[in-house]
Structure 1
Amino acid sequence: MKIYPMVSVIIPCFNSSMFMREAIESIMNQSYPELEILLIDDGSTDNTLDIIQELSALDGRIKLVRNERNLKLVNTLNKGISLCNGKYIARMDADDIACPLRIEKQVAYMETHPEIGLLGSFIEEFDDKRIIGRGIQPISDERIRAYIFTASAFFHPGVLIRRDVLSAHNLQYEEQFTIGQDHALWINMLQHTKAANIPEILLRYRVNAQSLTQVSNRNRSSRRVVLKAIYRSAISKAGLQLSDEELSLYSCSMAKQDVIEVVDADVSDLIKLYDKVIKYAVKNQGINRSYLKKYLAIRFIAFLFYTNAKKRPYQVVKSIFSSYFYVGIYAFIMRKYQL
């Protein structure tokens, strides 16, 4: 008789009644049987609690946890981690849909790759009307370590985490990161374990106007502060301390919504900054130079497109004499068409 390691699935719920039934049922119907499903109600005021109680009566693996007050996402996730009993922790949101074989395939991968402590997958993005597209991420540990300097290398609701990596190193989500808390956690986890993404769609990710990402986009100022702290964490772990001005330029160059803050920045400053980050990351963390340059070069092209640099001849000349320009154009084309 095969013995399955338990997987704890954490699903935070806050006024989630519109989509949560389908989300929870997609976990209840997983091909992998050995689950505990932690549904944490964070003070909902709709009928979220009624739906949880109804589903828990149908499946004994469901555990209802109620926060006495609204703790917000980070504290709710950490509470969930503290209550988990499984060898692995699976994340899931209350409006997404897990593919039937998701957890089975992730556990099988982890069991045969004990060096991997963090595992994600590709996703399918959809809304109420249509399939929007496919979300992909770097697959190998080497690429993930380079990519983490530019963005999160995982789709948060679809990850599987080896619980003993968190417990052994006292890792959890940090309250200061009201957004990007997953990116910050991955940066810390990669100091202690390897990571991978399964190149297969295992999660259907719902895009809706009420999602946390959409809401946070409405307050770019506070978001920039948090993202700046995340990039500070990644870069400082490579042994490099940037000035506040450098860090602002670096952070803003990572998102087109933030480039407006550095719209008149000199291309030469960005090139020098990227060169410095690559130098320290390669020297002190063994990051693959080619991969990191590729990911930064993609941001470089976006920076040129969304700033005033393209309107200034001398900035254009500086750009085309930089290898970031050609690496970025090539990488952008390959990524866009998934070649």
Structure 2
Amino acid sequence: MRNTPSTAGPTEEFSLLLPVYAGDNASFVRLAFESSVDQQTLRPAEAVIVQDGPVPEELERELARIETASPIPVKRVQLAQNVGLTEALNRGLDACAYAVVARMDADDVSVPDRFERQWALIDQGYDLVGTGMAEFESDPAVAAAVRIPPVGAVRIRDHARTHNPFNHPTMMYRVAALDRVGRYQPFGKMEDYWLGIRLIDSGARVENIPEPLLRYRVGAGAFARRGGWAEARTEWRLQGELRRMGFITRGEYLRNVVMKGAYRLLPARVKRVLFRGLVSGGLPGDRG
């Protein structure tokens, strides 16, 4: 059922889920929220902000301002201590009043018609709809690269055997579909990949919109955080799970363990080039 308040644009029956923590920048949070609510051609019916542990005074003031100024209801879930993204998202899902939830990170920017386009597919019966996203470093209008996800159930499943087929910050999904697979589960920094795999394997209807409907902020240390022995071990553990559940063959498992494990151990500068030029499938607009 659609509700059209006199002072705001149309809303639809889905929740916006936005986690924040002490390391987030208050001005980035404001931009993320306004782009996902005030500037959307189709707005969520509510916003759930999960405050993952104590935050600095400036961010606290911004969250209080958002609660007061928002054109839609805002619930702030305040966690006494930092529990990490996986648990914060699950706690946020518990607080969402609607059956469909749209993800948003605290330092990204949604394109104005993002939710309208995703909702059109959710309304057709899809359980998960992701989109492409444009990476930026400081100015959201200047794209450093564009991540174009696979489209169609067959291509998404094939892609998932080697790479994450969904851009996590762009997801819109049905909570019931997540409930069927156990929601988010701890898996290093790959909790989103593991969630996507389980959804695909469960028979959930999934789709991607290839156009970049979200602008993704890439910090200076982003590629360094994607590597190291801890990340390599998580990668190998993930491949073992995919092999155990029959999602990949023995040959695919061996290939992934070698190639993806090696990628995790490369210097950040090299990973940056490979991720944008090869791992993500050749990215239009890449300035490397």
Q: Does TM, scored on the shorter chain, surpass 0.5?
A: yes
2:209 to 191, 198, 204: 198
Aligned to 1:312: none
Matches within 5 A, 1:128-143: 128=138, 130-143=142-155
Aligned to 2:246: 238
Aligned to 2:256: 250
2:21 to 8, 14, 21: 14
Contact 2:135 2:147 in 1 (8 A): yes
| Counterpart-to-counterpart distance in 2, 1:61 and 1:170 | 29
Deviation (angstroms), 1:170: 4.7
2:62 to 51, 54, 61: 51
1:336 to 273, 282, 286: 282
Higher helix share: 1
| Counterpart-to-counterpart distance in 2, 1:83 and 1:257 | 38
Cα 1:241/1:64, change in 2 over 3 Å: same
Contact 2:114 2:213 in 1 (8 A): yes
Contact 1:228 1:247 in 2 (8 A): no
Contact 2:132 2:147 in 1 (8 A): yes
Cα 1:107/1:160, change in 2 over 3 Å: same
Counterpart amino acid of 1:121? T
1:183 to 193, 197, 201: 193
Sequence identity of aligned pairs in percent? 25
Following TM superposition, where does structure 1 have runs of at least 4 consecutive aligned residues deviating by more than 6 angstroms? Answer: none
| Counterpart-to-counterpart distance in 2, 1:77 and 1:241 | 31
SS in 2 for 1:9: strand
| Counterpart-to-counterpart distance in 2, 1:45 and 1:26 | 22
Aligned to 1:77: 89
| Counterpart-to-counterpart distance in 2, 1:239 and 1:74 | 23
| Counterpart-to-counterpart distance in 1, 2:90 and 2:239 | 22
Contact 1:31 1:104 in 2 (8 A): yes
| Counterpart-to-counterpart distance in 2, 1:240 and 1:140 | 19
Aligned to 1:109: 121
Contact 2:232 2:261 in 1 (8 A): no
| Counterpart-to-counterpart distance in 2, 1:158 and 1:239 | 24
Counterpart amino acid of 1:128? S
Matches within 5 A, 1:22-61: 22-29=31-38, 30-46=40-56, 47-59=58-70, 60-61=72-73
Aligned to 1:126: 136
Segments of structure 1 that go 5 or more residues without pairing to the other structure are 261-301, 307-331
Of structures 1 and 2, the one with the larger relative CO (CA 8 A, separation 6+) is: 2
CA-to-partner distance for each residue in 1:33-69, whole Å, 9 max, x for gaps? 3421111111243222211110110124221111011
Contact 1:228 1:248 in 2 (8 A): no
Which protein shows a greater Rg?
A: 1
| Counterpart-to-counterpart distance in 2, 1:240 and 1:24 | 38
Counterpart amino acid of 1:152? N
Contact 1:14 1:43 in 2 (8 A): yes
Counterpart amino acid of 1:9? L
Cα 1:151/1:174, change in 2 over 3 Å: same
Cα 1:72/1:2, change in 2 over 3 Å: closer
Deviation (angstroms), 1:13: 0.3
Deviates more, 1:28-37 or 1:136-145: 28-37
Deviation (angstroms), 1:254: 2.4
| Counterpart-to-counterpart distance in 1, 2:53 and 2:243 | 37
Contact 2:14 2:100 in 1 (8 A): yes
SS in 1 for 2:184: coil
Counterpart amino acid of 2:212? I
Residues 1:220 and 2:205 aligned together: no
Aligned-CA RMSD value: 2.8
Cα 1:259/1:172, change in 2 over 3 Å: same
Deviation (angstroms), 1:199: 2.0
Counterpart amino acid of 2:233? V
1:207 to 218, 222, 226: 218
Q: How many residues align?
A: 259
Contact 1:106 1:160 in 2 (8 A): yes
Contact 2:235 2:261 in 1 (8 A): no
Contact 2:18 2:50 in 1 (8 A): yes
| Counterpart-to-counterpart distance in 1, 2:52 and 2:240 | 30
| Counterpart-to-counterpart distance in 2, 1:27 and 1:258 | 33
